Each structure stands twice: as structure tokens, then as C-alpha cells.
Amino acid sequence: MSEAEVLTDAQDGVLVITLNRPKAKNAVNKATAEAVSAALDRLESDDSLRVGIITGAGGTFCSGMDLKAFVTGEMPMVEGHGFAGLVERTLSKPLIAAVEGYALAGGFEVAISCDLIVAAEDGQFGIPEVKRGLAAAAGGLVKLPKQVPPRLAMELALTGDFISAARAAEIGLINSVVAPGTALEAAKTLAAKIAANGPLAVARSKQVIAAAQDWSTEEMFDRQNAVLKDVLTSEDAIEGATAFAEKRAPVWKGK
């Protein structure tokens, strides 16, 4: 993994993944995609890591695909994981997008592939691919209608217009809007709250919420219970209850 493309930093159970191509507005090329994929492999495999954050260097989250690389035939994808090594991937651990500046095209699709989004007030979001004769095929057309009202998704996809962080929060696309320059710190605060909780319970809760939108009313509790049964009988469940009774912080085992 090239440090020039992506930086990683692990502290207190949180892995921060930074797109590090500020001169290119953190546009994703093949090397960046592979580096992000490797960082996410680390997040998934390391039991000491509970939450991931993805952000961008230089005041921009990500401007999307590196078009200069694209016209030479380079595709910024990883087999099985899609654009940026992320958008077609299902992670067991939560991933937070910390957005400063632009999250456009593939950058927008990276953000909406995360579980939570924190954005600076000057953040701008959009899928302007149609303005370049392209389509938002890295998740914008299929994920966005599940995250905002379909007509709003249609408008963004067909016009290519940008929306502000305030508007994104208004339509429920992002979790919080913070002062410029503080998105990463706000994301770390959110990540710390998640990392303090039972890792098995967090993983299964994330799994249910992600899948439940496709479950019918008739089947939803049976399918939920199938996912959660090992949580209710886990060592962590006993530890959580014991720690509460003893007025101390729980010591999680993740099992």
C-alpha cells in the first residue's frame, strides 16, 4: 500500500483512513482503491479495531473517479469490492464518513456506502456524472433511493446538481453538520461512543438495520431473531448486565 495515496491511523479502537491525494481533490485511481481495500481488510480482521472512519486530506473528502486515469483505461476498482475498494463491500464493523468540502460522484458514493456521515457546514454533495455523459453506477443510482425519498434521488441523478450539507441533513442523508475543519474530530467522537459498546451487539445491530429494509412485515421478526440469537446468549450480554449491576465499565470479549 502506498502511503502517498492513503494514510491510516489506529487509536483507541478506531481506524482512520485518509484519502491522501489533495492536489487531485482526492480523486480515486487504481492505487487508491487498492489501498482503501487493504485498510478495510485490516479493519475487519483486527479484533482491536471496532470502528472505521474514512476522510480526505486537504479540505476535500473525495471528488470521485480520477478522470485523467480513466481516459487512459485505468479503472479505480477492486474485484469484489467495487469502486474505491469499498462501495460493493459489506463490512461487519461500522464505517463513518467524515466529509469536508466536496463529496461528489464516486466520492458521494463512498460517503453513502458508509453507515454514518458527519459533514462540515461547507460540505457539498452530488452525483454529477450525467454532466460528463456518465452514470452514477458506483451506488448512487441504487443506494441513494433507499436513503432519501426516491424523487429526490431522481432529481440528484438526472440534474447532476449539488446540495449543501444543510440540505443533506434536512433530507436525512447525513447524521450531523459541524463547523468547517471539525468533521474528523466529530466523527472520532461518534466513533468513540460506538467503540465503547459491545462489539458483537454493534455488529449484529448494523447487520439487521442494513438488511431489514428488504424484509416483509410477516418475516421481519423471525429474520431479526435469527441474526440476534447469539447476541442474547453471548458472554458479552452477561458481562454488560454484570457491569451495570457492579457500576463499572464492561470488559467486552466480542463473543
User: Which are the catalytic amino acids?
Assistant: 109, 129
How far is the CA of 238 from the CAs of 118, 198, 241, 245, 249, in angstroms? 33, 11, 5, 11, 13
Cβ atoms of residues 74 and 124 within 8 Å: no
CA distances from 48 to 141, 148, 188, 189, 240 (A): 35, 34, 16, 18, 18
Residue keyed to cell 431522481 = 154
In 3D, which of 21, 47, 28 has the Cα closest to residue 87?
28
Please, which residues have CB within 8 angstroms of residue 148's CB and are 6 or more apart in sequence? 171, 172, 173
Using CA atoms, how far apart are residues 143 and 37, in angstroms rounded to an integer? 20
